[in-house]
Homo-oligomer: A and B are copies of this chain.
Amino acid sequence: MQQLFKALNDPTRRKILEMLKENELTAGEIADGFNMSKPSISHHLDLLKRAELVEAEKKGQFVVYSLNTTILEDMLTWILTLKH
């Protein structure tokens, strides 16, 4: 849970998730969407992967990232429990 909240506590990482909502993207394509160095984006992707919010698959020299919304169920449950 902590890892999940931590991963979402950054606007860059939230925007990455929004980008991946449409299509899966390579690390480079994701980096192109930001005015930030590739290593920084790589670090953000690593945090998202650790939180299980994205999955990474190596395709040749590329790494393709895709969204994994499964883990968000836990957060939804936590929030809804608070509300009722």
Contact = CB atoms under 8 A, between A and B. Distances in A.
**Complex copy number for this chain:** 2
A9 to B, nearest CB: 4
Contact of A75 (B2, B17, B79): B79
A72 interface: yes
Q: What band does the interface of chain A fall in when counting residues whose beta carbon is under 8 Å from B? A: 20 to 34
Interface string A35-52: 000000000000000000
A82 B72 contact: yes
Interface string A52-84: 000000000000000101001001101111110
Interface of A: 1-2, 5-6, 8-9, 11, 14, 17-18, 21, 67, 69, 72, 75-76, 78-83
